[in-house]
Structure 1
């Protein structure tokens, strides 16, 4: 590990230590904001693990998020909390592997449409089961877990996600993913098992998303499909990752902070129009910052130093 990398890890460790201490010095409102930011930072980072190098735009984030939350709702009365989280990860893994082998041969708009449809399919199946089998629509989650405990769990999950992504980017599978993202024909001729590589990373990303939903389930106390399968979660995750830069290690985290705060402000002040504003914002980010804000800032810096022609 180089000195520069070690210094960045040290700074990141100090930042996480400071964030972990925040619940001791901030009020409930600020803690709620930090919790929301941490949750979306995990989702955006997990999304970028797969979609960044492969350039597959997935809208299935909330499908796995909701599965994690519902797993906690179903099992929290019968199993210890750590085993419930383990079960949620297993559910996310099984669904991701099945979906991955069935659909990752699709590309472009076909994959986007399918992942959006997958979310709606899972939401409808859960709703049908709840209404027709259990004769109820939602689940109560009574666990002795406060917002500060949820926040610390999300911080730990974010740290694990970033470490895993850092390792993947420097491994052979990370190189294989970048080749697949550039040209799948070239990747196939190079001897890369395209389907297996994509499924492995898609499943790893999905497990993290599922755990993010499971960890946050006690936050609501009562969950139902309209809450945990809200499509806005998927769209916000994509926008945050694109804003920060999906191929930058800390890009999705930096994109999650301003966009979550903006989302909170818009939903509070413009509840009937914030979704339209977010759609316009998404289009603007794609056209103005196609590689993310961090890449744009670096380019401006090089222009200022005269190392890149305008």
Structure 2
């Protein structure tokens, strides 16, 4: 087993080195595609950190993503880039704590509706502020960040989200959240502080989403509320996580990679019907793969293992 783990670690290091060198060997189109893949891999995995174990379906991804983008739009020219990212992280964390304390008592459909409304509420607040206070609806983003810089920063963020997710899954917090996902009442009777556990993981997830929005902001040059707070992002992230299997750390990435490529194709070939097609894909995933690709693989392994044991016993 140790040899297998060593081989897996070595393969991961080689793969990471290849990904780090990718921008030096591909043209602008493939670099942009790689940035999109990393963006949605981080967003879907961050979504799965919270929604996977707790089974809370959140549509607040756009809210945190947009807040990160607008932080860069407002402060990008005034402060050094690392300081801007730190401020975006702090804003996302504070907002997540406030939202978590006020909404995580909800569950089911009520939580879904509230998180979707939250994104729309923040978008409308930004529009009101821009129109009435700053007197401009959009902002130009002028920061000395190249496409390669965006790629490498997203790659670091992807590594961080997987490492933190791996640590959480093996911690008391991860164990507590799995109990909450199974039965929240039982978790309370076991002495678990349900509120703190949920708010903590919700905040960690939101911070990653906020940082993705901040890192992606220089790519657009011009930002307005309809771009930063695009509700489609929330739905795409949910579809990707569900396709791969949100209950496993690496499951959302399995859904993010093929669906990012598919949505890129649909947006280029069928721009007016891409949203409709995305909705159909979402329905198919929910009904055909309720546990995602990872769940399908787990079922296959459970069916295959008894047959292997039986064949070994006959031999």
TM-score, normalised to structure 1, is 0.96
Match of 2:179 in 1: 179
Distance (whole Å) between structure 1 residues aligned to residue 132 and residue 207 of structure 2: 28
Distance (whole Å) between structure 1 residues aligned to residue 198 and residue 305 of structure 2: 39
Q: Does 1:7 align with 2:7?
A: yes
Match of 1:244 in 2: 244
Match of 1:86 in 2: 86
| Structure 1 residue 267 displacement after superposition | 1.0
Range 175-184 or range 242-251, more displaced: 242-251
Structure 2 residues without counterparts, runs of 5 or longer: 309-315
- 1:2/1:64 Cα in 2 relative to 1: closer, same or farther (>3 Å)? farther
Match of 1:258 in 2: 258
Alignment of 1:40-51 (within 5 A): 40-51=40-51
Alignment of 1:1-310 (within 5 A): 2-304=2-304, 307=307
Secondary structure at 1:30 match in 2: helix
TM-score, normalised to structure 2, is 0.95
| Structure 1 residue 176 displacement after superposition | 0.1
Distance (whole Å) between structure 1 residues aligned to residue 265 and residue 116 of structure 2: 26
Match of 2:313 in 1: none
Structure 1 residues without counterparts, runs of 5 or longer: none
Query: Which deviations, in whole Å up to 9, do the C-alpha atoms of 1:193-240 show, x marking residues without a partner?
Result: 000000000000000100000001100011110001000100000111
Distance (whole Å) between structure 2 residues aligned to residue 158 and residue 279 of structure 1: 27
Distance (whole Å) between structure 2 residues aligned to residue 3 and residue 127 of structure 1: 56
Query: Which deviations, in whole Å up to 9, do the C-alpha atoms of 1:63-120 show, x marking residues without a partner?
Result: 0000000001111111100000000000000100000000000000000000000000
Distance (whole Å) between structure 2 residues aligned to residue 172 and residue 3 of structure 1: 28
Secondary structure at 2:227 match in 1: helix
| Structure 1 residue 250 displacement after superposition | 1.5
| Structure 1 residue 3 displacement after superposition | 4.6
- 1:125/1:266 Cα in 2 relative to 1: closer, same or farther (>3 Å)? same
- 1:307/1:295 Cα in 2 relative to 1: closer, same or farther (>3 Å)? farther
| Structure 1 residue 15 displacement after superposition | 1.5
Range 35-44 or range 16-25, more displaced: 16-25
Distance (whole Å) between structure 2 residues aligned to residue 5 and residue 93 of structure 1: 34
| Structure 1 residue 2 displacement after superposition | 4.8
| Structure 1 residue 12 displacement after superposition | 2.1
RMSD: 1.4
Secondary structure at 1:192 match in 2: coil
Structure with bigger gyration radius:
2
Distance (whole Å) between structure 1 residues aligned to residue 224 and residue 35 of structure 2: 20
Query: Which deviations, in whole Å up to 9, do the C-alpha atoms of 1:258-288 show, x marking residues without a partner?
Result: 1001001111111111111111111111111
| Structure 1 residue 139 displacement after superposition | 1.1
